[in-house]
Chain A
């Protein structure tokens, strides 16, 4: 039973380019969360998705960032026109769903984005 998978593990982009980060949740998990971690900081929530729905995007910057979790395939976090301040580790987590009320989340290994 594979865990949460993220790719790529490392991504280098130049300012102005687009970054696409992918996350495949654990088998049977229908809830996906994206978090961002700056150096020496804790994780900051960005967006919470279920299949084909954005549930909570209160942590997403208003511009340049978008996320989706299609019916088929991985969840995608997309950053357009990247800037140096976007350099961070981006973690995806999944959980089985709200049937379990205690929300244990399982994390992927993260994607480290470096913007040159």
Chain B
């Protein structure tokens, strides 16, 4: 069953704008991870947020986690054309187990 579901499915913005992507999940987690995938490439790990954390920053990335709503958001500030990619949230199905991915948000940043 689908654990993470990203929203929106696709997002198109101008360079310099902020991009926000959301992820909802169904079951309890001990962490949630965001990955980026450039077209035709492998996945790059962006950030991991633990269930006892509410917000985490890494460069231009800001991730929030609301365990009461079972949701997370990824904010990319001051977007660049190079940020164009698909973004996935992923959660361990339980403990130290394989990740369950959503279908992703396809972000297009227009120069």
Contact = CB atoms under 8 A, between A and B. Distances in A.
B96 interface: yes
A42 B104 contact: yes
Given A33-B98, A101-B96, A103-B99, 13 more contacts: A33-B99, A35-B98, A41-B103, A45-B99, A48-B98, A59-B98, A91-B42, A91-B43, A101-B95, A102-B50, A103-B92, A107-B42, A110-B41
Nearest to B106: A40
B97 interface: yes
Given A42-B88, A43-B88, A91-B43, A103 B97 contact: yes
Interface of B: 4, 30-31, 33, 35, 40-45, 48, 50, 88, 90, 92-93, 95-104
Nearest to B33: A104
Interface of A: 4, 33, 35, 40-45, 48, 56, 59, 91, 93, 98, 101-110, 112
